[in-house]
Amino acid sequence: MEQTVRLSIVVPCYNEESSIGPLHAAVTAAAAALPDDEVEILFVDDGSTDGTLAALRGLAARDAAVRYVSFSRNFGKEAAMLAGLQRTNGDAVVLLDADLQHPPHLLPQMVALHKQGYDQVVACRDRQGEPALRRIPARLFYRTVNRWVDVQLHDGAGDFRLLSRAVVDALLSLPEYHRFSKGLFSWVGFSTVTLTFRHEARQAGTSTWSFGKLVNYALDGMLSFNNKPLRLAVYAGLLQTLLATGYAAWVIVNALVEGVDMPGYATLISAVIGMAGIQLMVLGVIGEYIGRIYYESKHRPHFLVRETDSRPTGRDQLTR
């Protein structure tokens, strides 16, 4: 492993005007502990509606290590991270949140592990300091997703990680429109090491994750990696058919033995409603997959750039 590392730090920002200054200071302080390495910070403004872009322009004018790219509207954190990865050319990239929940003082430790030869250095947070309202849905999320997805995801292991050039290039070779990074990181593989950090409360502003967004994220996680939910639908249909056949046989035998009468209106209605519910759900699952095919087939770009001082390196195959 080479001893000097060209490190790019990618920071997605959505309405983070008050966090950018402190974050820049913290990263600069951490970079001072890496005198042999080249550190640059690439901010991705994800269509912020506050003063984020102005703050970035000012920072880039003052500090040569700062570059930025700004989207035409809010495209989501996945798109922001992708834009950042496309614009880095160094040996390693660190993905870092703007709100200081990912402590930059871990950077030297992460770089050291990278120099030991690891391709992915994952900073994993323990959820001690978090409210239960956040912790429990998260646990549920990982339980469910790990059950239904081919790749294994770890609780607390988020986007805060160092990626070697090999991993970045691998990620950039995946052209899918629906990007579920947590899964992609695990899917590409390479040698991975984990370090743990204490979770900090958000420095300023509010988290943009509502409960609804989390539920959607969980669904995305399950649907974007395999077709196990479709398989489940097949099994459910099979089970239901078996049950219905069994019940029909019982009804016929009963009618032959006891004679025909007309009770069971309640049973009938609940069966019909139950069936309709299952069918709707299965249709929904199929619809989700078709929706994904529809989005993929449009070949739309993942984001649109409004203003930037950095160009994509063209290493990826995503430029459509």
- Which residues are at the interface with ligand UDP (CB under 6 A)? 12-14, 16, 46, 74, 76-77, 80, 97-99, 101, 207-209
| CB 180 to ligand UDP: min, Å | 14
Q: Which of 105, 116, 95, 57 is nearest to 184 (CA)?
A: 95
Half-sphere exposure for 132 (CA within 13 Å, toward CB): 0
d(CA 62, CA 239): 66
What tokens were used for 47? Answer: 């269509």
| CB 45 to ligand UDP: min, Å | 8
Q: What residue ranges bind Mg ion (CB under 5 A)?
A: 99, 101
Separation of first and last alpha carbons in the chain: 34
| Closest CB to ligand UDP among residues 156, 229 | 156
CB distance 102 to 96 below 8 Å: yes
| Closest CB to ligand UDP among residues 13, 318 | 13
Partner from Mg ion, ligand UDP, none contacting 183, C-beta within 5 to 8 A by type? none
Q: Which of 213, 175, 198, 189 is nearest to 299 (CA)?
A: 175
Taking residue 221's Cβ as centre, other Cβ atoms within 10 Å add up to 21
Q: How far is CA 164 from each of CA 36, 121, 161, rounded to the nearest angstrom?
A: 17, 9, 10
Partner from ligand UDP, Mg ion, none contacting 12, C-beta within 5 to 8 A by type? ligand UDP
| CB 160 to ligand UDP: min, Å | 10
d(CA 194, CA 123): 6
| Closest CB to ligand UDP among residues 25, 280 | 25
Partner from Mg ion, ligand UDP, none contacting 209, C-beta within 5 to 8 A by type? ligand UDP
CB distance 105 to 26 below 8 Å: yes
| Closest CB to ligand UDP among residues 8, 101 | 101
| Closest CB to ligand UDP among residues 18, 28 | 18
| CB 135 to ligand UDP: min, Å | 13
| CB 209 to ligand UDP: min, Å | 5
| CB 292 to ligand UDP: min, Å | 20
The count of residues in the chain is 320
Q: Please, what is the Cα angle at 176 between 171 and 182, to 5 degrees?
A: 55
| Closest CB to ligand UDP among residues 205, 279 | 205
Partner from Mg ion, ligand UDP, none contacting 76, C-beta within 5 to 8 A by type? ligand UDP
